[in-house]
Amino acid sequence: MLQNTALCLLMAVVATTTAALASETPAASPNANSCMHIRGDLSNFRLLVASDQTVRVAYLGGSITEHGAWPGLVSNGLKKRFPRAEFDFLNAGISSYDSTSDAFRFDRDVTPKGRVDLLFVDCAVNDLHNQRSKTERARAMEGIIRKARRHNPHMDVIILHFADLPHVKDYAKGKTPAIIASHEKVAEHYGVSTINMANRIADDIAAKRYEWKNFGGAHPSPFGHKLYAEMIAAFFDAVTARPLPAGAKLTKRPMPEKPLDEFNYANARLIRLEDAKIVGGWKIQPNPGVGTRPRHKNAPFMVATEPGAELSLSFTGRAIGFLGVIGPDCGMLDYRIDDGPWKTRDPFTRWSPRLHLGWTYVLEADLPDGKHVLTLRTSAKKNAKSKGNACRIRRFIAN
């Protein structure tokens, strides 16, 4: 197997062409390092693209994936690289969503059309911005991988560590960003390949090949998206450099019997609004009733706008929470599990004063496995920056 440094040299050479395409930036020079960890040879994917089967490629992530150019560039690159293959590409990116959101929505958004053969996962930026804890991001990423392998034991997965300025600054100090370290630990346990864009870009900026503003920031410029796509292309150059052995067959990917965390989100799921029992103050309506991103505008929501609205939900599992739209008027929530003590949660985020954003809240994640009842009500309390006591729930979630 090629060593990481050699692989990164190859990636940097390819990226030189990309940088040259952007007149506002100097061409990158070929001496980046620690850019990717190849765990396996994508043999299953390579066998399928040489067959007569339709090969499905899914992109899972946040706004960089949903609205960004890199998935299209990668898709076009795969079609050119494997001209005999019939591809079906699925963009499962949703703005503001992170690894926790992705684990709970995986079955709805990644696999609705059937078997997925290659999955790209983008969570490093939104796990940072959404301030997911070390435990949350590890449980979520492990849940995503276990869900993927349960869906299709032959699936190949590539985790992408996209860049944000705090990641770049960490690497400049010789530190591995905590978010990326969490994802790498899971990747190593499950034999999943990773491409570390953040590290590569930090090296380039340190060498003054271009500046962060030229790259474009967390939401990259066209130059940044091209660089991402070229780094992925270089990854494929590396893993396909050696031919598959004669008689190679599809092989089940590793699914360790013992997970890293027994509370991981491998059984994460969405629960219908209708499964909740309204005690009073809530109503199900055809939309959230506020201006928000297009994806959420025409979807049903359970909404309460005054304190004291109460509902209950019976569920089975170890975790419970909800997907919602959180904005300037959101209030605090009081809740309890079974006959336990009441607790209060403040959903208000740093984005809430000006935006109604989709967000995922896990209220409890370490419950004894079994049947439980969630009681949830809008509190009379609210964040000092909030304008109201509202709560808007798109789906309940459980694990």
Question: pLDDT tens-digit profile of 143-153?
Answer: 999 999 999 99
Whether 259 is covered by a domain: the verdict is: no
Does residue 247 lie in a domain region?
Answer: no
Same domain assignment for residues 24 and 142 = yes
Q: Are residues 144 and 280 in the same domain?
A: no
Is residue 89 helix, strand or coil? strand
CATH number at 94 reads 3.40.50.1110
Q: How many CB atoms lie within 10 A of CB 79?
A: 14
The answer on 109 and 50 residing in a single domain is: yes
Write the CATH number for 312.
2.60.120.260
68 is a domain residue? yes
Judge if 229 and 107 occupy the same domain: yes
Please check whether residues 231 and 325 belong to one and the same domain.
no
- Asked whether residue 252 is domain-assigned, the answer is no
Alpha helices in 32-158 (DSSP H): 43-49, 63-66, 70-81, 99-109, 124-129, 134-151
Nearest residue to 237 (alpha-carbon basis) of 121, 385, 23, 77: 77
pLDDT higher for 296 or 224? 224
Question: Is 250 part of a structural domain of the chain?
Answer: no
Please check the confidence at residue 5 and state whether its pLDDT lies above 80.
no
Shared domain for 79 and 161, answered yes or no, is yes
Task: Choose the final residue of a domain: 219, 239, 259.
Answer: 239
172 and 319: one domain? no
Element (H, E) at 232: helix 222-239
Do residue 177 and residue 291 come from a single domain? no
Flag whether 261 is in a domain.
no
Same domain, 125 and 211: yes
Per-residue pLDDT tens digits for 154-206? 999 999 999 999 999 999 999 999 999 999 999 999 999 999 999 999 999 99
**Structural domain of 154:** 4-239
Q: For residue 240, with 0-12 CB atoms within 10 Å meaning exposed, 13-18 middle and 19 or more buried, which class applies?
A: middle
In a domain, 389, yes or no: yes
Report helix, strand or coil for 315. Answer: strand
100-117 pLDDT, tens digit each = 999 999 999 999 999 999
- The average pLDDT across 31-41 equals 73
If pLDDT is split at 50, 70 and 90, which confidence band does 296 have?
confident
Q: Does some domain include residue 73?
A: yes
Listed residues 195, 219, 239: the one ending a domain: 239
Mean pLDDT is lowest, of 146-150, 290-294, 304-308, for 290-294
pLDDT value for 7: 44
Same domain, 383 and 298: yes
What is the structure's pLDDT at 9? 40
In this structure, are 71 and 219 located in the same domain? yes
Judged against a pLDDT cut of 70, whether residue 342 lies above it is answered with yes
d(CA 188, CA 143): 14
Kindly tell me if the per-residue pLDDT of 208 is higher than 90.
yes
Mean pLDDT for the stretch of residues 335-353: 96
Residue whose C-alpha is closest to residue 206's, from 36, 29, 37: 29
Q: How many structural domains are present in the chain?
A: 2
| φ/ψ bin of 396: left (φ > 0), alpha (ψ from -120 to 50), beta (otherwise) | beta
* Residue 233 or 13, more confident: 233
- Across residues 28-46, what is the average pLDDT? 74
Cα–Cα dist 180/198, whole Å: 9
Q: Do residues 286 and 347 both lie within one domain? A: yes
Average pLDDT, the chain: 91
**DSSP type of residue 240:** T
Out of 221, 239, 257, a domain closes at 239
